[in-house]
Structure 1
Amino acid sequence: MGFTAAPSLLVEANDAPAGTSSIPGDLADGCLLVPLLWQSEPAVTDQLRVAASLSRSSNARLCVLDPTSEAPTAYGPDLPPDAEREVIDRAVRSTLRAGQPGVLRTHTLLNGILTAVDTADVDALVIPRGSGTGFLRQSLAEHLGLRAACDVITVNGRQSYDDARSILLPVTGGPHSTAAVDVARRIAADTDAWIDVLHIVPPHASDRRQARATEHVEAATDRIGRPDRTATWVLEARCLADAIVEQSEYYGLTVLGAPTKGRLREFIAGSTSRTVQHGARSAVISVRTNR
């Protein structure tokens, strides 16, 4: 089946006139941009559910961009559950109907999305995690995470995300940890979810290390601002990633900061975020801030 790429999305960044958007004026400033890029119903469903929760709790417009159409569809932040279901169903039908793009070039698609982010002042980009097949290959997701001048929220789309009544929030104090706390806080505010803030220390950690762990979880709890629906937890474990994967079984959603290692070091030592996204028994959101 043929695939008609939207010229508004696939314009090369260098070809876009200065000061203008590569996407028509329907894309307003201060919005969450959700490009539909993967032929997977769980991925599309989870991507839109996360974006809808963030839209409602942050009062931001939700802009769903289907590469098979000419312009994004914008929704207000008061999207009710029945309308959200309709949006999801329409998006799933659209992405599954499109078929393999064939002529769609990853670098062109990347430039189109980056241009849209730059020219429309997008607050956050919500994307599914890439794979070796389908529209969204891993390299595209990685490049968007590193280059988009906004927060990038990546949903793994491997497990069902059902309203996130409980959220596991591992915090490290790293540069993306605060952004992860904010995303978890907004989703919890929308779904009235319980949050367990977790920090993992090695066995027999020193008193100083334990004190620093307590500071991390307390700082996250203060930022969340829902003491009656938030708990803190310092866990001793030898492997950070394995411990998070094991605990994820008991939660509807796991939210964590994006990896901070360089590409070579990540290749050699592995990435906690990537391991969790592959192995977790709940839906996983990885959050990166590039502001």
Structure 2
Amino acid sequence: MHMIQTHERPSSNDYVVLLPAREAAKVQLMLPLAAAIARQQNGQVVILGVVVVPHDQPLSDGMLETRQVRADYDQAADFSTFQVPIRTVITVAHDLTDGIRTSAEEQGANLILLGWPAQQSSSERLFGPPIDNLLRHPPCDVVVLRLHDEQTWRRVLLPVRGGPHTPLACDIAMALAEHHDASISVLYATNPRMPDDASVRASLQSLRSMPRVTRWLERSIPAEQAILAEDPDHQAIVLGVTGRRGDPEAPIGPLADRILRQSDSTIVLVRHRMAQSEELAQQIWQQNRDLSATVDRWFAENTFSSHEYDDLQRLFAHKQQQGVTISLALPTLNEEATIGEIIGQLQEHLVANVPLLDEIVLIDSGSHDRTREIAAAHGVPVYLHQEILSQYGAFAGKGEALWKSLYVLQGDIIAWCDTDIKNFHPRFVYGIVGPLLRERRLVYSKGFYRRPIQFGERIAATGGGRVTELNARPLLNLFYPELSGMLQPLSGEYAGRRSALEEVPFFTGYGVETGMLIDLLERHGLNALAQVDLMERIHRNQELVPLSKMAFAITQVVIQRMEQRQRVSLLEPVNQTMKLITQREDGGFSLELREIRDHERPPMARIPEYRRLRGLPPEPAG
């Protein structure tokens, strides 16, 4: 490529607006706008003529055409009337886009102003190769103006959302409004189904004092609807190219594309060329915004109420349609005060009246009271988890009991329900299996509820779930924000499809629920998980020391999963012990060193005995 210039390169302190235009009519139409932008920045305009030589010819063949373009520029109107420095430059290139891009670099351009004849658009594409390419990979800021015949502007519409193109859009709107002696209407539209960023809204308030802004419009409807509704009252719309996440190679985003196709106004598209640090910050911001919207949508679509499944006959019909069996495991440790009532209600309502449950099994962890005897008297099979798959040993903890229950239960859907519930209702079971029976896409359903807390003889309406709110949910929000909409990740009532549960590992203690949620999320995705409102749950509240141990174990599980995801080591053996603070009878305090560690059981489907029992082929060696 060879550059022919009429003047020297401008100093690096000048703001340069590069205007690619050869035809006199285009120069006449675009130059006043280019000058307005340059004047606002105390800069100058460089009018660029690109002489394109076919690829099979040498660039020197462009000499005669270059002379003609130079002569055309010499005969152009007097540029002194625009009150900004204006120069002309001619470049010879094999490709129009390359000529513009190279000239932008050599001239130190801050902004390229491109004109787009609207009549040249088609249903397949709005622009053409030069504009498309420059918008995809801009060498500097790019502004594209849909060309109309000279018209009077009274109002300019400026939609804003605080994205990376907003500052440039504001500058262009002010420059063009000043040139046309027009007013500016700032439009802030929020989709009611999408999260609104309060900090962005607050930062945009400063635009109210921007020169020529006479109206501030807020609309709680999608941006496209809001813009098109205001379109008839405005002669021009200044719009960022908007997000292009669906097709990163698209020159503009879907919103800008639809506005261009549906509006008859003058459209000014702006594309800010971001530095690498800006690109990274924008990507992170967009990812967080997308994730927040994803979680909000999940919360709306995958949060159910147990009342939706109060019609047990209808629920049973769903079960028959799926052709599945359902097993319920009741993990226990010294629950003689509640286990009889729980089993009695389940047998009456979910077995005798409506055969929703095919199997109820008690998985005991070594109760010293009459828990096992009460269950046996109700005809419920009783297992000690220490005796199931004993060849693999036994660990203490609820997670160990749940893992081993997969071996003895027969159902296609497995449900678990805590047994210390004082206000038990069958909805604690049919509520968690309901989504799985109605929605085949779901693999896991978890309960949540209001949790009163008991202080002596007094019961407060709220305050339960202390480890959930102070430990589990903050950790998940930090490291697994996809699960930030899960109201009670530690609840003891949940159900899942065997096909999913047998493929995830189980932590043996307090971390079983957290580990299961994370692993199911990563294997099946957020949309395969559901949560169900089970109303109110009253149970035995624990003292702070046991809760402290629970929180410690849950933190270990989250960090262990982060280690596996990031392939880094964060926990040393010393991190598996905790100094518990206990108060002595004399009022003093002491430190007790306790090892608190959840062991991780492999997926049950990896156990040879389980595979034989379920009729699965042996796993391949290695």
Q: TM-score interval w.r.t. the shorter chain? A: 0.5 to 0.7
Map of 2:30 onto structure 1: 47
Map of 1:251 onto structure 2: 234
Of 171, 174, 194, the residue aligned with 1:185 is 174
The AA in structure 1 aligned to 2:98 is N
For 1:220 and 1:155, the matched residues in 2 are separated by 23
Residues 1:33 and 1:290: Cα distance change in structure 2 (over 3 Å): same
The AA in structure 2 aligned to 1:34 is L
CA deviation after TM superposition for structure 1 residue 53, in Å: 2.1
Map of 1:34 onto structure 2: 19
For 1:137 and 1:163, the matched residues in 2 are separated by 25
- Answering whether residue 255 of structure 2 is matched by residue 272 of structure 1, we say yes
For 1:179 and 1:153, the matched residues in 2 are separated by 9
Matches within 5 A, 1:34-183: 34-36=19-21, 46-67=29-50, 69-70=69-70, 79=82, 108-129=95-116, 131=120, 138-157=128-147, 159-160=148-149, 162-183=151-172
The answer on whether the counterparts of 1:27 and 1:120 sit within 8 Å (CA) in structure 2 is no
How much is the aligned-residue C-alpha RMSD, in angstroms? 3.7
The AA in structure 1 aligned to 2:153 is A
Residues 1:265 and 1:57: Cα distance change in structure 2 (over 3 Å): closer
CA deviation after TM superposition for structure 1 residue 132, in Å: 5.5
Map of 2:270 onto structure 1: 287
- Answering whether residue 182 of structure 2 is matched by residue 197 of structure 1, we say no
Residues 1:210 and 1:244: Cα distance change in structure 2 (over 3 Å): same
The answer on whether the counterparts of 2:237 and 2:265 sit within 8 Å (CA) in structure 1 is yes
For 1:273 and 1:48, the matched residues in 2 are separated by 24
Identical-pair percentage: 22
- Answering whether residue 215 of structure 2 is matched by residue 236 of structure 1, we say no
Q: How many residues end up aligned between the 2 structures? A: 237
Structure 1 residues 162-199: Cα deviation after superposition (integer angstroms, max 9, x where no partner):
35331100001111111101111222233332111101
Residues 1:263 and 1:177: Cα distance change in structure 2 (over 3 Å): same
Structure 1 residues 138-164: Cα deviation after superposition (integer angstroms, max 9, x where no partner):
23202112333221010112x445353
The AA in structure 2 aligned to 1:280 is S
Secondary structure in 2 matching 1:122: coil
Structure 1 residues 62-99: Cα deviation after superposition (integer angstroms, max 9, x where no partner):
2223446149779868517xxx9xxxxxxxxxxxxxxx
Map of 1:97 onto structure 2: none
Structure 2: segments with no counterpart, 5+ residues: 51-64, 87-91, 275-622
More displaced stretch, 210-219 vs 247-256: 210-219
Structure 1 residues 189-221: Cα deviation after superposition (integer angstroms, max 9, x where no partner):
333321111011124877xx3845642541333
The answer on whether the counterparts of 1:246 and 1:280 sit within 8 Å (CA) in structure 2 is no
CA deviation after TM superposition for structure 1 residue 279, in Å: 1.9
Residues 1:182 and 1:34: Cα distance change in structure 2 (over 3 Å): same
Of structures 1 and 2, the one with the larger relative CO (CA 8 A, separation 6+) is 1
CA deviation after TM superposition for structure 1 residue 121, in Å: 0.4
The AA in structure 2 aligned to 1:153 is V
Map of 1:8 onto structure 2: none
For 1:48 and 1:246, the matched residues in 2 are separated by 31
